[in-house]
């Protein structure tokens, strides 16, 4: 069991570039989440999904998009990167109230 995996681990983007952060889980969890973590700010929910084909906005969705074509995968897309999107991004999955997190992607936009 790999749990929740995320790629890449680090990435530097120029302003205006786009990229996709990958997230996969092998626990057959229906629920999946994307968070961003800024220093001293805890985790903020970007998007979440309650099952394949269903996604919904969290607290801070602007500038991001997601899709959930399978139970296992939940990619996060940044279309036009901005410096405000510099952060550490965590993907998580759950089957109830207990979330399992991936190792994170550290993204810098310059």
The binding site for another protein (CB under 8 A) comprises 4, 30-31, 33, 35, 40-45, 48, 50, 58-59, 90, 92, 94-104
Centre a 10 Å sphere on the Cβ of residue 9 and count the other Cβ atoms it contains. Answer: 9
Which is nearer to another protein, 35 or 64 (by Cβ)? 35
3-class secondary-structure state, position 83: helix
Q: Which is nearer to another protein, 59 or 79 (CB)?
A: 59
Structure tokens, 63: 């500038």
- Smallest distance from another protein to CB 8, Å: 14
105/35 Cα distance (integer angstroms): 11
């Amino acid at each position: 069991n790999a749990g929740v995996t995320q790629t890449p681990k680090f990435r530097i983007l120029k302003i205006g570039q786009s990229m996709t952060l990958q997230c996969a889980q092998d626990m057959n969890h229906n629920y999946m989440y994307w968070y961003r973590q800024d220093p001293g700010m805890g985790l903020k929910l970007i998007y979440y999904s309650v099952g394949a084909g269903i996604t919904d906005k969290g607290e801070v969705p602007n500038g991001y998009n997601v899709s959930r074509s399978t139970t296992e995968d939940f990619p996060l897309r940044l279309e036009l990167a901005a410096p405000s999107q510099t952060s550490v991004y965590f993907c998580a999955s759950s089957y109830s109230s207990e979330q399992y997190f991936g190792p994170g992607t550290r993204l810098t936009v310059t």
